[in-house]
Amino acid sequence: MANKDYFVHPNALAESEDIGAKTRIWAFAHVMKNVKIGEDCNLCDYVFVESGVTIGNRVTVKNGISIWDGVTIEDDVFLGPYCVLTNDMLPRSKAHHAEYSKTLIKKGASIGANATILCGITLGRYCMVGAGAVVTKSIPDFALVTGNPARVKYWISKKGGKLNFNKEGIASDNSGNKYKLHNNKEDQSKSYVTEI
Whether 54 and 74 have beta carbons less than 8 Å apart is answered as: no
pLDDT digits 0-9 by tens, 138-158: 999 999 999 999 999 999 999
Q: Kindly tell me if the per-residue pLDDT of 3 is higher than 70.
A: no
Burial 39-74 (b: 16+ CB within 10 A, else e): bbbbbbbbbbbbebbbbbbbbebbbbbbbbbbbbbb
Distance between CA atoms of residues 81 and 47, nearest Å? 10
If we measure between CA atoms, which residue out of 60, 65, 67, 61 comes closest to residue 82? 65
The H or E element containing residue 81 is none
Q: Residue 28, Cβ neighbours under 10 Å: how many?
A: 15
pLDDT digits 0-9 by tens, 45-81: 999 999 999 999 999 999 999 999 999 999 999 999 9
- Tell me the pLDDT of the chain averaged across its residues: 95
> Cα-Cα-Cα-Cα dihedral of 190, 131, 161, 138, to 10°?
-20
pTM of the model: 0.94
pLDDT digits 0-9 by tens, 7-38: 999 999 999 999 999 999 999 999 999 999 99
What percent of the chain is modeled with pLDDT above 70? Answer: 98
